[in-house]
């Protein structure tokens, strides 16, 4: 996929597009050696470049990678704790601030907010990943029998046109401005910035997946394929962007 332009949201105004090299130069922190830089990881840049063209990455999200690089090895532990419910928002941010202060001497009250945006996306994805593998919630066998379809519902209704465009780019048709497909449809993977058929599908305020019955879908013109639902195997969970 051709890398999308990178846009920043600065004080409410969209700034861009920017090439990845510009982002590296702007956000990579200077090391003690003035001639060297700590660069953003390849995984981070691949994630940023893989974003769909219309999506806006906030400056604070990219800033979180650049400023807090030395503390990121602990991010996986925080993500797993948050996904399992043993780390809440307030305690999580306090732990992040304490760790950053200890590891790199950065006493910045705003730093946890920057990093938490990335952690929140990851722990939501990890939680959905576990539910999928364990056959829980919408992936339960009995639920699949009665609700074999699912629908993506954006949190922000004003972003609906953009999501509908992305849905069509994933190869699907909309039904009365609703994005519905079988739970095993490969379109969900194409719909995602992260190449995973699970929500969240992008950074920032995304949306939720909800189960839909055949009858409800047929009422808005959806034609259901009656073949059995065969959920694809998921690759091992991989932290996004960190």
Q: For residue range 197-228, list pLDDT tens digits in order.
A: 999 988 766 889 999 999 999 999 999 998 99
Positions in the chain short of pLDDT 50 = 1-3, 30, 32, 34-37, 54
Residue 85: per-residue pLDDT: 84
Closest to 8 (Cα-Cα) out of 46, 61, 66: 61
Residue 36: per-residue pLDDT: 46
CA–CA separation, 218 vs 183, rounded Å? Answer: 16
Phi, psi of 32 (to 5 degrees): -60, -35
Whether the predicted model's global pTM rises above the 0.95 cut: no
In the structure encoding, which two tokens stand for residue 67, read together?
Answer: 């400023």
Residue 191 has a CB neighbour count (10 Å cut-off) of 24
Residue 17: per-residue pLDDT: 72
CA dihedral 26, 30, 33, 35 (to 10 degrees): 0
């Amino acid at each position: 996929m051709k890398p999308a332009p990178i846009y920043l949201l600065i004080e409410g105004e969209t700034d861009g597009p920017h090439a990845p090299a510009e982002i590296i130069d702007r956000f990579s922190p200077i090391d003690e050696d003035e001639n060297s830089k700590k660069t953003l990881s390849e995984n981070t840049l691949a994630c940023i470049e893989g974003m769909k063209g219309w999506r806006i990455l906030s400056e604070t999200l990219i800033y979180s990678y650049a400023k807090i690089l030395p503390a990121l090895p602990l991010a996986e532990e925080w993500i797993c704790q948050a996904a399992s419910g043993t780390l809440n928002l307030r305690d999580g941010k306090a732990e992040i601030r304490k760790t950053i202060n200890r590891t790199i001497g950065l006493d910045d009250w705003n730093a946890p907010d920057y990093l938490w945006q990335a952690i929140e996306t990851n722990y939501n994805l990890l939680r959905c990943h576990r539910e999928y593998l364990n056959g829980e919630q919408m992936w339960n066998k009995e639920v699949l029998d009665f609700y074999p379809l699912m629908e993506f519902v954006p949190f922000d209704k004003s972003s609906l046109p953009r999501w509908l465009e992305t849905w069509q780019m994933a190869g699907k048709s909309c039904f009365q401005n609703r994005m519905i497909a079988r739970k095993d449809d490969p379109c969900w993977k194409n719909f995602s910035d992260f190449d995973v058929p699970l929500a969240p599908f992008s950074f920032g305020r995304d949306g939720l997946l909800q189960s839909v019955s055949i009858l409800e879908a047929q009422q808005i013109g959806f034609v259901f394929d009656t073949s059995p639902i065969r959920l694809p195997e998921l690759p091992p969970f991989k932290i996004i962007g960190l």
